[in-house]
Amino acid sequence: MTRLTVEDLNQADKERIVDILGDVYEESPWVAERAWSERPFSSTEDLRQTMADAVQNSSQKKQLDLLRAHPDLGERTEMTDESEEEQASAGLDQLTPKQYERFQQLNTTYRDRFGFPFIMAVREESVDTIQNAMEERIDHSKSEEFQTALDEVNVIAKLRLEELVASSEEQYS
């Protein structure tokens, strides 16, 4: 797949931007819509920051909706292609029955406590690392975990953008 350049995105209309970047933030095309209005982007980093700012400057309800759009980790359910690939890279699609049961318990406890799913940038992480993070973060305060989840969403978005958009260095090499 040929990656797009920032210039390609600067020249794209709103519909195309949303089509290309709409799933960078899980099932939240509004982030791409808001970023489009801030064009032109000077770099991939500028685009990433613009999208992160759109999330940060949105209402708490909008942020909560974004968090709730994420699937539970290790869940055997339908999810976006991006989430499926990310979870598979961490082995979450290969959990043993015992691991699956533990993830289900942790997901339920976490969701009941915070009102949204546990979110972590899991690409290339191990099942044990993810499980340990879940167990640790369950003890966070609600405000601390809300911000941690938003921070993780931004890491996920950064990784997704890196797959879609060529960096300035790549464009000129």
Task: Enumerate the active-site residues.
Answer: 70
Q: Which of 29, 37, 43 is nearest to 13 (CA)?
A: 37
**In angstroms, what CA-CA distances link 90 with 97, 122, 125, 167?**
16, 6, 5, 25
For residue 100 the two structure tokens come to 């699956």
Query: Are 37 and 9 contacting, i.e. CB atoms less than 8 angstroms apart?
Result: no
Rounded Cα distance between 23 and 173, Å, is: 28
Beta partners for 4? 165
For residue 98 the two structure tokens come to 């015992």
For residue 25 the two structure tokens come to 């933030």
Rounded Cα distance between 34 and 159, Å, is: 19
Residue 116 phi, psi dihedral angles, 5° rounding = -155, 165
